[in-house]
Amino acid sequence: MAAVTTPLSKPAHADTDYAHVAHDEHVAHGGHVETYAERLRLNRMGMWLFFISEAFLFGALLAARFYLWGDTRPHLDQMVGLIVTTVLLLSSISMYTADTAAEHGQWRVFSIACWATMILGLVFLFGVMIFEWGLFPGIYKGHLTPWGDKYGAVVFAMTGMHALHVISGVVLIFIMWRLARRGKFTPERHWGIEAAAIYWHYVDVVWIFFYPALYLIGVAAGGGH
Amino acid sequence: MGHYRTGIIIALVLAVITVVEFWIALTTHSVVFLMLIAALKAILVIWFFMHVKRLWAAEGGH
């Protein structure tokens, strides 16, 4: 695939943080002089610290699942679980493609991959909302409610918290796509895109654990369909 | 396409692991086994897609 090194519209502006600074130039910051590479490293560390803190949140939800359900699980549609899991995995691949394309200045590929990720993310979201939450009974009548029993409560807590992260991930990717269109990123300077990408992959990692916990582990019991 | 080769390979590996995971769930009810498979998938995503090794890269890591 031929590299297209021009941004979607126009070059990066000097008012963007660090965009006008060469890689080895120093930027004064409250007396402390740091390079872009140092700032990038700090940004990445901050992002991973955030992921660790989120791991406690999702870990607590997993713990609640195993404590309340034990070796049982509700009747959930296995085909729905497999389909939404596949969709989310595909979205991770498209986001990886977008991230890689940005690294190599392939902005058209980046744009297409971003939209693929957003669309797949929304497909996942609506798949869960329609077929697990039963949010639109006209389309599909769900059998679980958050207040019904321990199965419904845990399913809605886990998938609901995950869905919030899916929504915020889609919004974040859209913002990065918009910024890229305005030429805010370069192959050398695209932390925003990288951050959105690894955030999206984190959402996928969470589902990698949630999927077996909700759909596969334990014997199907009452409390669902 | 060389830049994207890693993603394609990992995607195929993840797909295969997911199928294996589903089959294992149907044939056994092993919590440990299924969580280990999930951990394996997570490690693949974290290592190859999330570029965790850039945390300790010498420079910016791009």
Distance from CA of A78 to the nearest CA of B (A): 9
**What's CA B34's distance to the chain center, in Å?**
14
CB contact under 8 A, B18 and A36: no
Residues of chain A with Cβ-Cβ distance to B29 below 8 Å are 71, 217-219
B13 or B30: which leads in pLDDT: B13
Contact (Cβ atoms closer than 8 angstroms) between residue A209 and residue A159? no
Q: What is the pLDDT of residue A12?
A: 45
Question: Which pLDDT does position A31 carry in this prediction?
Answer: 65
Alpha helices, DSSP H only, in chain A? 36-69, 78-103, 107-131, 150-181, 191-211
For residues A162-201, one letter each, b for 16 or more C-beta atoms within 10 angstroms of the residue's C-beta and e for the rest, the string is: bbebbeebbebbeebbebbbebbbbbebbbbbbbbbbbbb
pLDDT digits (tens, 9 = 90+) for A153-180: 999 999 999 999 999 999 999 999 999 9
Please give, rounded to a whole number of angstroms, the shortest distance from the CA of B17 to a CA of chain A. Answer: 11
Is the pTM value of this prediction over 0.90? no
Nearest chain A residue to B24, by CA? A216
Strands A32-34 and A72-73: unpaired
What's the pLDDT score for residue B58?
61
Which of the given ranges, A73-82, A112-121, B53-62, has the highest pLDDT on average? Answer: A112-121
